[in-house]
Amino acid sequence: MTATQYPIPFRLLRMILSAAFLYFGLEKLLGAPSAVALYETLGFGQWPRFVTGTVETASAIGLWLPHLQAISALALTATMIIGLSALILFAGPPYWHMIALGTGAALTAFAYRHQVTAWLDSRRPQA
């Protein structure tokens, strides 16, 4: 499918996800006090903040690059699953924003799943 074949709701979802993940990713990378405090609460040091911020920022951009939408959405989905697990185990609520963003990222990954299957098919040895 081309970008014009996707219904407007999927493009709107990508816009919302991109804005949210750019905001949260840059907040982590730039060392916003709330992000620093959250990662201190988790107790793993600050290095996961940089990894998460980099994944969120790069994936937010990748949502708009042809052939990278699916892998970017999968990376964001995985980031939200790991982040939600960390919040549940170590920090506590609120969870709603992570559930909403993770669900949106998963829907986007599902919408662009043909990119993953095409990539996998291209990697198979030819008989």
Domain assignments of the chain as residue spans, ordered by start:
25-123
pLDDT per position as a tens digit, 60-72: 999 999 889 999 9
CB 93, CB 55: distance < 8 Å: no
pTM of the predicted model as reported, rounded to 2 decimal places: 0.87
Cα-based distances in Å from 71 to 35, 37, 50, 66, 108: 25, 30, 20, 11, 10
- When pLDDT is averaged across residues 41-52 and rounded to a whole number, the result is 92
Q: Percent helix, strand and coil across the chain, each rounded to 5?
A: 80, 0, 20
What pLDDT was estimated at residue 127? 67
Distance from the first to the final alpha carbon of the chain = 27
In tens, the pLDDT along 75-103 reads: 999 999 999 999 899 888 888 999 999 99
